[in-house]
């Protein structure tokens, strides 16, 4: 056992080192040369601005940090961090969603992944009731991909639609312009509740000087066309004139200084530290992703006092306990658990138990944590005849309709319909976190290779040219590499299929904080659709 623990620990520490290497590329695009260019413009890197914006010594929960790697757009392989920093920090004690264009990445222009990241942050802000601050320095849409970023729903215009809707719902939209905001990007200044611009640094116009010259023949400077003085003294498109980034940051803080203090809509108990250290996760979780786990031991590392009150512990031994259900507290907050156990295959008994628990927690208004480590629902005639489709669908329906805050944490296989029943991305969890052990895809590489190889062999035989052993081995390995590669947390994180890849030792802190943020909104009354009994 000790040898396996040491092997697991070494493996996961090395995997998280790979994550650190990718993060360094995400937060330092262009290296020191890019920072030097900012300094010449009187600017600082966006994370420094964010650090000054949030309360001193407080956390900044940065989201989707590895977005944009390997997206392979025309002429652009990577868009580090999606060209946009998003995350949640406290301003005068209130959790606030922060957006910041990183002008070091293609002048802050918007690629499809940038838009997806921007609007994912807006969705979280809407769901959790957070004010928004936009640190805007963007060249607008990435023009070579205009058909993919401009005309459709969830394209460029949807950012401003969301701003309008959030403002109408009482969520403040505050923009700090630290650079150029051209064409559609100008609306991020003009549509805010209040906008801050910086002298001889901020510009906002529907058409820049070159376009004005071409369209009207007028020659005008950027400053006179749409600079800070123009919009704060003539057009009224902005509200606050500043002379430096420091002054502008303080102005934004002042704007939000009179907001009502947030409160959690949940009774909170005193926090107890787990009796089992979070560091032990490195020993507990096998390096082999398809190997079964004891999820109760994992739960002990995140639960206050390592206490887990289990629901239906003795139900259907060997089948019903492939999903473990019950209650814990995380930093004093009650949380309902639905967790994959063992190898994680979901039998009909486990699906039935999970559905009942989701419904119970919803009526009790207890938030839910889905700990996902399942390769799918059980197949075969016995399982079908016992109602796996019916009970699996009930589980999906319960996850869909539960109105309590929901968070999914992926710590292993995340395949097939188990992704649905365990509240994957399509089921609108408030937050979705992966780990370096998570693997999200329709099926594992090995399973996909087996299915697709059988099809390929039948086609080859029908053509009268059966596949050789070398061709079989090559095809099988190609499919394994493809499906396992697309399931990897780096691939999924790059495409915003999760909100952050957490290190094992970060899990408890992030769950506690994000559940707190989820509970800033009152929990609606439960309302479930039709179940099949």
pLDDT score for 532 = 84
How far apart CA 125 and CA 118 sit, in angstroms, is: 11
Q: Is the pLDDT of residue 341 over 90?
A: yes
How far apart CA 50 and CA 201 sit, in angstroms, is: 18
Average pLDDT over residues 309-318: 94
Token reading at 362: 């919803």
Q: Are residues 199 and 246 in contact, defined by beta-carbon separation less than 8 angstroms?
A: no
pLDDT score for 201 = 95
Q: Is the pLDDT of residue 125 over 70?
A: yes
At 131, the pLDDT band (50, 70, 90 cuts) reads: very high
* pLDDT digit string, tens, across residues 388-439: 999 999 999 999 999 999 999 999 999 999 999 999 999 999 999 999 999 9
Angle of helix 445-462 relative to helix 469-487, nearest 10 degrees, comes to 140
How many Å from the N-terminal Cα to the C-terminal Cα in the chain? 44
Average pLDDT over residues 152-169: 96
* pLDDT digit string, tens, across residues 447-474: 988 999 999 999 999 999 999 999 999 9
Q: Are residues 442 and 416 in contact, defined by beta-carbon separation less than 8 angstroms?
A: yes
| % pLDDT > 70, the chain | 99
Average pLDDT over residues 126-135: 98
How far apart CA 311 and CA 327 sit, in angstroms, is: 8
Rounded mean pLDDT of the chain?
Answer: 95
How far apart CA 400 and CA 196 sit, in angstroms, is: 40
Average pLDDT over residues 317-326: 94
pLDDT score for 1 = 41
Task: Mark 434-465 as b/e (b = at least 16 C-beta within 10 Å).
Answer: bbbbbbbbebbbebbbeebbeebeeebeeeee
At 3, the pLDDT band (50, 70, 90 cuts) reads: low
How far apart CA 354 and CA 369 sit, in angstroms, is: 12
* pLDDT digit string, tens, across residues 278-288: 999 999 999 99
At 530, the pLDDT band (50, 70, 90 cuts) reads: confident
At 182, the pLDDT band (50, 70, 90 cuts) reads: confident
Q: Are residues 404 and 362 in contact, defined by beta-carbon separation less than 8 angstroms?
A: yes
Average pLDDT over residues 15-41: 94
pLDDT score for 367 = 98
Average pLDDT over residues 320-335: 97
Secondary structure (DSSP) of 468-492: PHHHHHHHHHHHHHHHHHHHSHHHH
């Amino acid at each position: 056992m000790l040898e396996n623990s040491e092997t697991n620990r070494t493996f996961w520490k090395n995997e998280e080192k790979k994550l650190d290497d990718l993060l360094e590329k995400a937060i330092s695009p262009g290296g020191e040369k890019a920072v030097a260019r900012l300094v010449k413009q009187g600017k600082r890197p966006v994370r420094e601005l964010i650090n000054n914006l949030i309360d001193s010594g407080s956390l900044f929960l940065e989201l989707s940090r590895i977005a944009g790697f390997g997206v392979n757009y025309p002429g652009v392989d990577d868009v580090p961090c999606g060209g946009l920093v998003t995350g949640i920090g406290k301003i005068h004690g209130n959790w606030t969603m922060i957006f910041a264009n990183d002008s070091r990445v293609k002048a802050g222009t918007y690629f499809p992944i940038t838009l997806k990241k921007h609007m994912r942050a807006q969705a979280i802000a809407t769901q959790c009731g957070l004010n928004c601050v936009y640190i805007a320095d963007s060249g607008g849409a990435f023009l070579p991909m205009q058909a993919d970023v401009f005309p459709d729903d969830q394209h460029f215009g949807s950012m401003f639609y969301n701003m309008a809707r959030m403002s109408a719902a009482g969520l403040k939209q505050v923009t700090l312009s630290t650079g150029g905001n051209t064409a559609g990007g100008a609306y991020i200044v003009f549509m805010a509740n209040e906008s801050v611009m910086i002298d001889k640094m901020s510009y906002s116009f529907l058409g820049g000087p070159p376009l004005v010259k071409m369209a009207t023949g007028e020659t005008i400077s950027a400053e006179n066309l749409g600079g800070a003085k123009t919009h704060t003294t003539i057009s009224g498109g902005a509200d606050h004139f500043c002379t430096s980034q420091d002054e502008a940051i303080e102005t934004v803080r002042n704007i939000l200084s009179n907001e009502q203090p947030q409160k959690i809509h949940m009774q909170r108990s005193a926090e107890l530290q787990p009796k089992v250290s979070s560091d032990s996760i490195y020993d507990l979780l096998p390096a082999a992703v398809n190997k079964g786990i004891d999820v109760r031991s994992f739960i002990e590392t995140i639960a206050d006092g390592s206490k887990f009150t289990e629901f239906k512990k003795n139900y259907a031994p060997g089948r019903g306990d492939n999903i473990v259900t019950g209650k814990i507290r995380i930093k004093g907050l009650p949380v309902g658990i639905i967790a994959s156990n063992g190898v994680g295959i979901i039998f009909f008994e486990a699906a039935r138990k999970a559905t009942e628990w989701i419904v119970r927690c919803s009526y009790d208004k207890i938030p839910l944590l889905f700990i996902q480590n399942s390769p799918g629902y059980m197949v075969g005639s016995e399982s079908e005849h016992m109602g796996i489709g019916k009970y699996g669908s009930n589980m999906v329906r319960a996850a869909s309709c539960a109105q309590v805050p929901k968070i999914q944490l992926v710590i292993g296989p995340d395949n097939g319909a188990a992704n649905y029943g365990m509240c994957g991305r399509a089921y609108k969890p408030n937050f979705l976190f992966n780990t370096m052990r998570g693997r999200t895809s329709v099926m594992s590489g090995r399973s996909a290779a087996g299915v697709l190889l059988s099809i390929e062999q039948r086609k080859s035989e029908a053509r009268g040219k059966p596949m050789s052993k070398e061709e079989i081995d090559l095809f099988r390995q190609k499919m394994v590499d493809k499906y396992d590669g697309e399931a990897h947390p780096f691939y999924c994180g790059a495409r915003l299929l999760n909100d952050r890849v957490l290190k094992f030792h970060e899990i408890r802190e992030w769950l506690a904080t994000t559940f707190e943020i989820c509970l800033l909104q009152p929990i609606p009354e439960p309302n479930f659709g039709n179940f099949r009994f």
